[in-house]
Chains A and B, each alone.
Chain A
Amino acid sequence: MEKISLQFDRIKEKMNFIKPNKKRDFLLLATLILALPYIINSQYLLRIVIMIGVYSILALSLGLVTGYAGQVSLGHAAFYAIGAYFSAVLSVNFGISFFITAPIAAIAAAICGLLLGLPTLRLSGTYLAITTLGFCEVVRMVLLNWEKVTNGPLGINRIPRPSLLGFDLTLANNGMYYLMVFFLVFTTVVMLAIVRSKIGRAMMAIREDELAATMMGIKTTTYKVIAFVVSAFFSGLAGAFYAHMIRFIDPNTFTFDTSIMILSIVILGGMGTIKGMFLGAAILVSFPEVLRFLQEYRFVVYGMVLVLMMRFRPQGILGGQKKTAYKLPKGVIVDINSNNSSIEVREAMNTVEEVI
C-alpha cells in the first residue's frame, strides 16, 4: 500500500505543472506577448493583432462606463475621433512628437467627456444612450465641416510615425506593436486599480441600484462622471495611437458603426469583466478576417453570431461567472471566533460547518 501511495505522490509531483500557478502563468503570458511578432512573423497578422489591441483599449474604457457603472454610451467613437484628430492635427501642423501629442489628445478627450458628462449623466438609460449617440454625430459633423483644421471629408494624410529618440516606430520593425502593448498594459493596470478600489465598488453599486447607492451615501453623479472622464481619456489615447499607426484618418473612420462595434465587444466579452474585453476584441476584430472565405456573407454570419449570443448567453462569454470572495480592506477581519461575537453567530457557524 505504501508503495502505491508513494507512486501516486510522485505522479502528482510530476503533474504539478498543469495546476494553475499565478506567477508562472503570468510569466508565460508576458513572454508570449513580447515574442508574438517573431512567432507570427507576418505584417498582415501583426496589423490585425494591433487592431485587436486598439479595440481592447476602447472596450476596456467603455467597459468601465457600461460594464461597471452601468451607463450605456452609444457615442464612444466620438472620443476615439477626438483623440485621433487632436494628435494628428498637432503633429502634422506643428511637428510635435507623438509622445507629447498623445497625452494631450487623451486629456482633450477627457475634457470633452467631462463637458458631456456633467449635464447628461443625470439622465439615465435610454435618454443617456440617445444623448451620447447625438454627441457622436455632432463630433462627426464638426470633423466633416471644419475644413480649415480637419481638412473635411478628405481627412488628414501623412501623419508622422511615432519616433522615440530619433528611432521611428513602424509596423515593420515591430515598434508599433510594442507601443500598443505598452498602452494596453497601462490601460489595463489603471482599470484594474479603479475596479478593485472603493471607487469601483461605488460604480458597481450604482449599476446595481442607483437609489440604494444614493442611500449608502455614494455621490452617484460624481462617480458616473469619473467613469465617463476616465473612459474618454483612454478612448482618446487609443484614437491617437490609431491615427499614428494608420497615418491617415477621415471622418468615416469614426462613425456610429465604430461605437456599436465597441459596445458589441463589451457585451460579447461580458459586462463587468476585464478579461472579457480582450476576448471580445479578439473575436470581433478577427472575425471578418477569419471568415474572408465566405466573402460578403461573412457579415450575415457575424450578425447571426451576435443574435445567437444574446439568445443563449446574454451575460457575455466571460460574464456572470461565480465571483471570488470579496477581500475586506486591511485591518478589517470578521472573526467569528473572537470573544465579542455572540453565541448565536457561533451556532450559525456550526450549522454552516455541518452543511459542509
Chain B
Amino acid sequence: MLAVKNLNTHYGNIHALKGIDLEVKQGEIVTLIGSNGAGKSTTLGTITGLLRATSGEVWFKGENITSIPPSQIVKKGISLSPEGREVFPALTVEENLQLGAYVRKDKENIRTSYDRVYELFPRLFERKKQTAGTLSGGEQQMLAIGRGLMSMPQLLLLDEPSLGLAPNLVVMIFDLIVSINQQGTTVLLVEQNASMALSIAHRGYVLETGKVTMTDDAKILSDNDMVRKAYLGNI
C-alpha cells in the first residue's frame, strides 16, 4: 500500500534521513521504533509532504506521491495524527472533528464518521461541546486520533500516541489502535515505547540515525537481543 524507496531528507545541512526503505501492506500495523533523533518523525513528515525529500520516492497505492502538498496527500487517503497531540485548543471537540473531515465532499456520510469516532471514544461524545484545550492529556490524544479518522483515511499515521500519558491510558490507546486496525484502517505507528508498539504491530522497523538498521516481524524483533538491549530495557 505504502512504499518508501531510498528516501533522503535534509534539514539545511543536516542529513536527517539517509536512504530509508520501508513498506506498509494493506491491513497491517507497522511500527517504526528508534531513539530520539533517529528520524522517525522526519519520515512521517516526508511521507505527508510537510517536509521535502531531497531524493527518493514515496508510493501510495501505485501512485508516486513524493513531495506533493499535504492537502493533496490527505485527499489521497493518508492522515497524520501529529506528535504532542496538536488539537485546536480553542475549538470544541465537535469542531475539531469537523475540521478532520475538511477535505471530504460527501457531506451525508460524514455523520457515519462521527458515529464511528464517538463509538471508539465515548469520552469524546460526553465532551463534544467542551473546548479541546480543557480536555485531559489522554482525551486530547483520543481527539487527535479521532480527528485523524474523520478524513476516512486508508492509512493512518500516528506519531508518538503514548507521549506523556499515564501507563493505564497508554494501554487503552494501544487497544484502540488495534480496534481501528481491525476495522480496516492500515496503521503506521511511530513510537518510543518500543515494547508496547511491538506488542500490537505486525511488523517493525528499527531506525538509527536516519537509517533502517533492522526489519522483521514484530515478534521476532521483540525477541531480538540487540533490540531488547537498546529499546526494551531488559536483557
Contact B119 A215 (CB under 8 A): no
Is A296 an interface residue when CB atoms closer than 8 A count as contact? Answer: no
Return the CB mask of B139-161 against A: 1 if under 8 Å, else 0. Answer: 00000000100010000000000
Residues of B within 8 A of A331 (CB): 107-108, 111
Complex Cα spacing A205 to B87, Å: 9
Q: Does B69 contact A (CB under 8 A)?
A: yes
Q: What CA separation (Å) do A198 and B75 show in the bound complex?
A: 17
Q: Does B19 interact with chain A (Cβ within 8 Å)?
A: no
Q: How far is the CA of A345 from the CA of B119 in the complex (A)?
A: 5
The answer to whether B94 touches A217 (Cβ under 8 A) is: no
Q: How many residues of B contact A (CB 8 A)?
A: 43
**Residues 189-219 of A contacting B (Cβ, < 8 Å):** 198, 201-202, 204-205, 207-209, 211-219
B122 on interface, CB distance cutoff 8 Å: yes
Judge if A334 is at the interface, Cβ distance under 8 Å: yes
Number of contacts between A and B (CB, 8 Å)?
119
Residues B88 and A209 in contact, CB atoms below 8 Å apart: yes
Residues on B with beta carbons closer than 8 Å to the beta carbon of A348: 118, 122-123, 125-126
Taken together as a complex, chains A and B put the C-alpha atoms of A272 and B107 apart, in Å, by 27
Chain B: CB-nearest residue to A207? B90
Residues of B within 8 A of A214 (CB): 50, 70-71
Q: Does A342 contact B (CB under 8 A)?
A: yes
B217 at the interface (CB under 8 A from A): no
Measured between beta carbons, the chain A residues less than 8 angstroms from B123 are 348
In this complex, the member of A208, A323, A348 whose beta carbon has the largest number of chain B beta carbons within 10 angstroms is A208
Is the C-beta of B162 less than 8 angstroms from some C-beta in chain A? Answer: no
The answer to whether B67 has its CB under 8 Å from any CB of chain A is no
Partner of B71, one of A204, A209, A218, A335: A218
Q: Check B92–A326 contact: CB distance below 8 A.
A: yes
Q: Is A341 engaged at the interface, CB distance under 8 Å to the other chain? A: yes
**A211 to B: closest C-beta gap in Å:** 6
Chain A interface category by residue count: 35 or more
A349 within 8 A of B: yes
Known: A208-B89, A352-B126. A344 touches B119 (CB 8 A): yes
Closest Cβ–Cβ distance, residue A210 to chain B (whole Å):
9
Q: In the complex, which residue of chain A has the Cβ closest to the Cβ of B159?
A: A215
Q: Which residue of B is nearest A206, CB measured? A: B88
Give the CA-CA distance A218 to B75 in the complex, in Å: 10
The segment out of B3-11, B97-105, B195-203 that lies at the interface is B97-105
B135 within 8 A of A: no
Q: Can you list the 7 inter-chain pairs with the closest CB atoms, starting with the nearest?
A: A217-B74, A348-B122, A208-B88, A217-B103, A212-B86, A334-B114, A217-B71
Task: Show the binding face of B for A, using Cβ within 8 Å.
Answer: 48, 50, 69-71, 73-75, 79-82, 86-92, 94-95, 98-100, 102-103, 107-108, 110-112, 114-115, 118-119, 122-123, 125-126, 129, 131, 147, 151
